[in-house]
Amino acid sequence: MKKPIIITAALCLTGVILMGVLSGKDVEPGIVAKLKAKYSVKHAPSADHAGFEALKKKFTSPRQVTEACISCHNKRHKEVMRSSHWNWEREEYVEGRGVVYLGKKNAINNFCVSTPGNEGSCAKCHIGYGLDARGKGYTDQNNVDCLICHDNSETYAKAPDKAGAPEAALDLNAIAQSVGRPKRTNCGVCHFFGGGGNNVKHGDLEKALFEPDRDLDVHMASSGSNLQCVDCHTTKEHNISGKIYSLASMNQERSSCEQCHTAAPHGDSVLNEHTLKVACQTCHIPSYAKANATKMSWDWSTAGKLKDGKPYIEEDSMGNHAYMSIKGSFVWQKNVKPDYVWFNGTASHYLRGDKIEDTEKPLVLNPLHGSYADEDSKIIPVKIHTGNQPYDPVNKILIQPKLFSEKKGEGAYWKDFNWEAASRAGMKAAGLPFSGKVGFIKTAMYWPLNHMVAPKEASVKCGECHARSGGRLAGLNDFYMPGRDYSAAVEFVGKWLLLLSLFGVLAHGAGRILSARKHRNGENK
């Protein structure tokens, strides 16, 4: 009679396990298959520019190339000249302060701080030529640099410190005839090197992404789908989707995972439910700076030390700059586990001239908005870059120092190593007051991570967040998370209830054994 029950019980358990195994698929198979098919179709250009007469006459300056481009594409330059890539600013609505025009033109970060006064050097990453402090370069249509984005010969390169001009001795004709859809190399030459070196700023955008393997980035992998930047950062009239919140404020025109993968990409509904509160990136970017280190901290206050009257450089164990006389000390890290914050797509910014309320605690330059209670918020991974940067302790505003100059004696810090002179020149260029005093203040910036998406096998496992202690989300405490949180009272009462029950039955049982023995002994007598 016992057997059928054991068999039934065994069958039930097998049933549970079977259902579990069968329902255990991670990915909705249809979506990924369709995407793979879509992106395996090779891009076919609609024209061969090598055949155009306009590109055959000898070019002696890049401006002539632009002129030739405009002779056919006679409206495209107007689109470019409306874009933030060109203007280095765009309209942003910031909660509490209304519409501001924000961009590289006026933003302050905790890397090289700001562009005003330093255009000659910074313009290496401007999509134009002849950018100077007076903003002259912004109005001339022949200053549009078509080639930096559209060169497909991979030979075009901008010269350092030449206000946006390319290197001399380039074969401009060959380059002009090669033009086509932008590739990773076109975007990467600027975006991988922001902040003055490879992977300095973002942590998830760096030169290893020119030819990444699948482990580094599952989308851009050369041997895989080999996606180009513009496949996701879709573009309309030279307006490229995607925002980085060092400069952006509004939740719009963002490039997202969902635009391809949908909001319910998993086969498992519990995982799909996570997408309501957890951004894709949170689980799928387990670490950043996977190939080369990224800068985590920049301390300007130590800059200016000279050896024999000359600036010098020291390297850390990974070969990154640990100290530069012109910039101060740096901390670099590789394979970094992200920090996590709630984010609803809006941010505010420290804008130039803003009074610093509390100079004792670190000043966050781009606070990201969001919380568990906010319906639009999701948990996202970020890199937090900390700084120690110059500020005016009398006026209580951040200083925008003049760093770059061709010559000594113009106040540029990188030539004269004098904070007061550099601050005076920089603040003048920015149109801000300066008291003559220079102090240093701790700052922090948030860099949302969106790239270096790992293969699914490497994505963050449930237990890395749903853990009693030490989980990835240990710092986000405004909500209840299963596996991590509990009610101390219920835990206390529950544990004692179990212990007392156990103790009770053991004591009762022992009592029965003893009394049974006594009775048996009594009968024996």
Partner 1 sequence: MKNIKEVLIYSGFERFWHWAQAGLILFLAFTGFEIHGAYSFLGFGDAVRYHNIAAYLLIVLIAFAIFWHLTTGEWRQYIPTTKNIAAQLEYYVFGIFRNAPHPTKKTALCKLNPLQKLTYFSLKVFLLPATLASGLLYMFYRYPEGGTTGSLTIETLRTTAVIHTACAFALAAFLITHLYLITTGKTVTANLKAMLTGFEDLEGTECEPEAEK
Give the interface with partner 1 as residue ranges (CB under 8 A): 1-2, 5, 8-9, 12-13, 15-17, 19-20, 23-24, 262-264, 268-270, 272-273, 275-276, 373, 461-463, 466-468, 479-480, 482-487, 490-491, 493-495, 497-498, 501-502, 504-505, 508-509, 511-512, 515-516, 519
Buried/exposed code over 296-317 (b: 16+ C-beta within 10 A; e: otherwise): bbbbbbebbeeeeeebeeeeee
Q: What are phi and psi of 445, to 5 degrees?
A: -130, 145
Closer residue to partner 1 in complex, CB, 223/469: 469
Shortest Å, Cβ 125 to partner 1: 39
Q: How far apart are the first and last CA of the chain?
A: 40
Both tokens assigned to 154? 């991979």
Closer residue to partner 1 in complex, CB, 53/478: 478
Cβ count within 10 A of residue 113: 23
Shortest Å, Cβ 243 to partner 1: 24
Closer residue to partner 1 in complex, CB, 37/373: 373
The CA distance from 114 to 401, in Å, is 8
Which residues sit opposite 331 in a β-bridge?
Answer: 297
Q: Tell me the DSSP string of 308-326.
A: TTB--EEE-TTSSEEEETT
Shortest Å, Cβ 476 to partner 1: 14
Cβ count within 10 A of residue 99: 10
Shortest Å, Cβ 239 to partner 1: 29
The CA distance from 436 to 426, in Å, is 12
Closer residue to partner 1 in complex, CB, 93/486: 486
223 burial via Cβ count (<10 Å: 0-12, 13-18, 19+): exposed
Shortest Å, Cβ 459 to partner 1: 11
Residue type, 474: A
Closer residue to partner 1 in complex, CB, 78/461: 461
The CA distance from 406 to 409, in Å, is 10
Shortest Å, Cβ 18 to partner 1: 10
Q: CB of 250 within 8 A of CB of 242?
A: no
Closer residue to partner 1 in complex, CB, 8/259: 8
Buried/exposed code over 407-439 (b: 16+ C-beta within 10 A; e: otherwise): eeeebbbbbbbbbebbbbbbbbbbebebeeebe
Shortest Å, Cβ 262 to partner 1: 8
Q: CB of 385 within 8 A of CB of 286?
A: no
Shortest Å, Cβ 127 to partner 1: 39
Closest CA to 202 of 370, 382, 39: 382
Shortest Å, Cβ 17 to partner 1: 8
Closer residue to partner 1 in complex, CB, 15/433: 15
Closer residue to partner 1 in complex, CB, 50/513: 513
Both tokens assigned to 81? 């000249």
The CA distance from 229 to 238, in Å, is 14
Closer residue to partner 1 in complex, CB, 78/512: 512
Closer residue to partner 1 in complex, CB, 169/276: 276
Shortest Å, Cβ 378 to partner 1: 13
Closer residue to partner 1 in complex, CB, 197/370: 370
Shortest Å, Cβ 257 to partner 1: 13
Shortest Å, Cβ 117 to partner 1: 50
Closer residue to partner 1 in complex, CB, 29/319: 29
Q: Tell me the DSSP string of 69-119.
A: HHHHSTTHHHHHHHSHHHHS-EEEEETTTEEEEESTTT---SSS---TT-H
Q: CB of 232 within 8 A of CB of 280?
A: no
Number of H helices, E strands in the chain: 16, 13
